[in-house]
Amino acid sequence: MGLIVLLGVLLVLSVTVGTREVAWPDIIAALSGGVDGIGQAAVAVRIPRTVLALLAGGALGLAGAIMQGVTRNPLADPGILGVNMGASLAVVVGVAWFGITSAEAYIWTAILGAGASAVFVYTIGSLGRGGATPLKLALAGAATSVAFASMVIAVVLPRADIAGGIRSWQIGGVGGATFERIVPVLPFLAVGFMICFLSARKLNSLALGDDLAAGLGERVAVARAIASLGAILLCGATTAICGPIGFLGLVVPHLCRLLIGVDHRWLLPFSAIGGSCLLLAADVVGRIVARPAELDVGIVTALIGAPFFIWIVRRQRVREL
């Protein structure tokens, strides 16, 4: 309950706080559709941005919770496992080499890239002794992410027409959002959210271990595949409009687990709301600290999330590779 109140407060903050001070009457006028004067126009720009942060944060928080559940790995996160960077690379390749332009094509390409890199990283991470241990998986993902990031530069750079946007494919942000860009992604997010929420019960059985889950009558591989599909849909769709935002899906589920425990039926919705809260907060912070410029939200989440990641790595009893 508290989380929803927090979300409301952050929504209000996200609309009211920005690089430009706007008086309350103007804000209210803008919310009801007015665009008179610079103040109201500024607020009108903040509205789609807030909606995007709400959706993207929810999607990434939820995807993180699903990935941690599916891989039973506390280090799983769409950013760390290279899924977001894979989506980013796929979009960049699509734009640079195949000339895709429509929003739908962007989204499909991103989802394809996300899926391919998820499979790729999981395959690499589970080679060898002991299967997919948390550290091996994280290492494979992080390295893949680094490799993809450098490929993105190689693909984008010779294309002067898109090279200016190179930063947006390396570091995610929600600035410059418009409703025209958000609408096409909605059906994908809706399907993704639905699949994820429906797999909560299955994730609970998976958490007991594969053998027990199978004993309870769960088809383990199928459950994994379906839940992963949901997470990939969410990640791909989000990356298609925001670029790769890392570490959000790592931090949120851990915090939520502290709040409400490990039952996925509660954890998943909480992670979604928590993700929205964190991304909104990060976006607001990014707007405040660097006035008059703005900090991309991907930068803020990396600065918050990386220390958290280190903390988990230190806390885990690590097995050597």
Partner 1 sequence: MTVLSSLDLIVESRRRRGRKYLVLVGLLLLMVIAIFMLTLSVGQSVTPPGEVLRVLLGENVPGASFTVGQLRLPRALLAILAGLSFGLGGVAFQIMLRNPLASPDIIGISSGASAAAVFAIIILSMKGTSVSVLAVAAGLGVALLVYGLSSKNGVAGTRLILVGIAVSAMLESVIAYILSQAPAWNLQEAMRWLTGSLNGAQLGQALPLLLALIVFGGLLLGRTRDLEALRLGDDTAAALGVKVATTRIAIIVGAVGIIASATAVTGPIAFVAFLSGPIAARIVGNSGSLLIPSGLIGSLLVLGGDYVGQFLLPTRYPVGVVTGALGAPYLIFLIVRVNRTGGSL
Q: Which residues bind partner 1 (CB under 8 A)?
A: 75, 124-125, 127-129, 135-136, 138-140, 142-144, 146-148, 150-151, 153-154, 157-158, 163-164, 166-167, 170-171, 246-247, 290, 293, 295-296, 298-299, 302-303, 306-307, 309-310, 313-314, 318, 320-321
**Min CB(122)–partner 1 separation in Å:** 12
Distance CA 77, CA 59 (A): 12
Amino acid identity at 30: A
Report the residue number, 4 or 147, with the smaller CB distance to partner 1.
147
Distance CA 152, CA 113 (A): 13
Report the residue number, 39 or 113, with the smaller CB distance to partner 1.
113
Report the residue number, 71 or 170, with the smaller CB distance to partner 1.
170
Token output for 125: 């991470």
**Min CB(137)–partner 1 separation in Å:** 10
- Do 87 and 114 form a contact (C-beta atoms < 8 A)? yes
**Min CB(250)–partner 1 separation in Å:** 10
Tell me which residue of 2, 18, 8 sits closest to 285, measured CA to CA: 18
Cis amide leading into 292 (omega within 30):
yes
**Min CB(193)–partner 1 separation in Å:** 27
DSSP tag of 98: S
Report the residue number, 146 or 262, with the smaller CB distance to partner 1.
146
Report the residue number, 264 or 287, with the smaller CB distance to partner 1.
287
Tell me which residue of 122, 147, 141, 142 sits closest to 132, measured CA to CA: 122
**Min CB(215)–partner 1 separation in Å:** 30
Helix (H, G, I), strand (E, B) or coil at 298: helix
